[in-house]
Amino acid sequence: MKNLKVFLDSKHKQFNQLGFIKDDPISIPHRFNKKEDIEIIAFFIALISWGQRISIIKSGNKLIDIFNHAPHDFMMNHQEKDLKKALGFGHRTFNDSDLLSLIAFVQEQYKDGEGLENSFSKHLKPNDKTIENCLNGFRLAYESSEFFLSRTKKHLAYPLGGSACKRLNMYLRWMVRKDEFGVDFGLWNSISPSQLICPLDVHVLKQAHKLGLIDSEKGDWKTALLLTDKLRKLDPSDPVKYDFALFGLGIEAKNTEII
């Protein structure tokens, strides 16, 4: 385990650096400075982070245009006519109906004075080791909202459904982790980095299996927990920093941009 930690620490430092940002979907929220702008656009970018990274970034640019280059102001002040720009938006299975539903839901979070941070963190219980309750609570809040669409719920995966919740785990990593390297934003203080769960994409799964961290490549919540438990033994306070190492190793091995 000691040798594995040394190896993964070196790969973490190799990939957790500013050069990583340019070709990754996280480059989209890095264009903004205001906390609310970052967390709002990052939420939508995370939800469409499926497929080739260049395609995700292209769709992200469309979202910025739809939000008039000011996501928080758009959420708070848009009129019905402003939503016409969202019609026709699509990224793989995420379409304009999904976008409009989630715009309304996110707007509700801010107009209620909570914002996205509290919308997740308020579901934490005092002794929670992980963000499982955050993910379940957020999804159930969406289901109980007046803006709920049955087709959209698949984009807000939750542990109760057995999903690994890759995209939302990635989003929370972006918002919660903080270090000197400047890739993740570390904007949220109500969730601890130690509670994060490693996002499971194809690269991470394959590399974790190859390194003996997990026994199978089944991408479900159970595997996400098992992998994170192993990574927590390497760094109890910040286990998900190794997402950089495992993802980067996968990119190196396959020379692909599918995430």
Taking only the tens of pLDDT, the chain with its 259 residues reads: 779 999 999 999 999 999 889 889 999 999 999 999 999 999 999 999 988 889 999 999 999 999 999 999 999 999 999 999 999 999 999 999 999 999 999 999 999 878 999 999 999 999 999 999 999 999 999 999 999 999 999 999 999 999 999 999 999 999 999 999 999 999 999 999 999 999 999 999 999 999 999 998 889 999 999 999 999 999 999 999 999 999 999 887 765 443 4
Q: Is residue 109 part of a domain?
A: yes
Vertex 153: Cα angle to 152 and 156 (nearest 5): 110
Which residues, listed in sequence order, are joined to residue 94 by a DSSP beta bridge? 91
* Domain count within the chain: 1
In a domain, 66, yes or no: yes
Query: 3-state class of 52 per DSSP?
Result: strand
243 is a domain residue:
yes
Residue 83 lies in a domain: yes
Prediction pTM value: 0.95
Q: Long-range contacts: 59-62, Cβ < 8 Å, 24+?
A: 59/89, 59/91, 60/25, 60/28, 61/28, 62/89
Q: How many CA atoms lie within 13 A of 94 on its CB side?
A: 22
User: Do residues 193 and 237 make contact, with C-beta atoms less than 8 angstroms apart?
Assistant: yes
257 is a domain residue: no
Task: Classify residue 209: in a domain, yes or no.
Answer: yes
pLDDT for residue 137: 98
Domain membership of residue 211 as a residue range? 2-252
**Predicted pLDDT of residue 4:** 95
Residue 258 within a domain: no
pLDDT at position 1: 74
| 191: nearest Cα among 140, 118, 105 | 118
Q: Which residues contact 65 (CB under 8 A, 6 or more apart)?
A: 85
Helices (H) and strands (E) in the chain, counts: 11, 2
